[in-house]
């Protein structure tokens, strides 16, 4: 597990919004546009209040699964779609290239739908959210 520090800017029930400065991993990734500050939601089981600095932990397994779902899965899906398109084109006896392109695009779009659903389920899951471990 990876621990980070941040400043609590809002508390709603057992969830705190924490302002976190970007670190080297964020800078290298570059997926989030904008400033050097990121706002995250974290489980607040320690009772942190607005204005307090806190340590929170992020489960690295969740980061790896998320990265796979967002970056690798669509590529694999497009490749499988191209292969299936080829098989369908050969079976029908039509232009194979058209079916390969169509299969790749359709599989890629379906994977994007899956990524969106995965994002919604991961965001809603309490286990996947960062957790505040102590108040500094």
Q: Are residues 50 and 68 in the same domain?
A: no
DSSP string, 50-84: TT-EEEEEE-HHHHHHHHIIIIIHHHHHHHHHHHH
How many structural domains are present in the chain?
2
What the block records as the tokens of 11 is 């508390």
Q: Are residues 54 and 103 in the same domain?
A: no
Burial of 16 (0-12, 13-18, 19+ CB in 10 A): buried
Range(s) of the domain holding residue 105: 62-124
pLDDT in tens, 98-108: 999 999 999 99
pLDDT in tens, 59-87: 766 677 778 888 899 999 999 999 999 99
Separation of alpha carbons 135 and 47, rounded Å:
9
Q: Are residues 76 and 112 in the same domain?
A: yes
pLDDT in tens, 9-21: 888 888 888 888 7
Q: Are residues 23 and 54 in the same domain?
A: yes
- H helices of the chain, in order, are 24-29, 60-67, 73-92, 96-124
- Which among 60, 31, 63, 40 has a CA at the least distance from the CA of 132? 40
Bridge partner residues of 57 (DSSP): 3, 131
Q: Are residues 95 and 42 in the same domain?
A: no
Instruction: Indicate the pLDDT class of residue 94, thresholds 50, 70 and 90.
Output: confident
Q: Are residues 117 and 67 in the same domain?
A: yes
């Amino acid at each position: 597990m990876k621990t980070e520090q941040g400043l609590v800017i809002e508390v709603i029930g057992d969830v705190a919004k924490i302002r976190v400065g970007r670190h080297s991993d964020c800078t290298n990734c570059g997926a989030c546009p904008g400033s050097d500050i990121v706002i995250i939601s974290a489980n607040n089981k320690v009772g942190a209040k607005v204005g307090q600095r806190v340590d929170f932990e992020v489960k690295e397994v969740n980061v790896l699964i998320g990265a796979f779902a967002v970056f690798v899965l669509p590529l694999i899906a497009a490749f499988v779609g191209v292969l299936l398109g080829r098989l369908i084109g050969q079976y029908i006896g039509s232009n194979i290239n058209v079916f390969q392109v169509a299969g790749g695009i359709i599989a890629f779009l379906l994977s994007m739908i899956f990524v969106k659903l995965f994002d919604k389920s991961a965001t809603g899951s309490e286990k996947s959210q960062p957790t505040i471990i102590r108040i500094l």
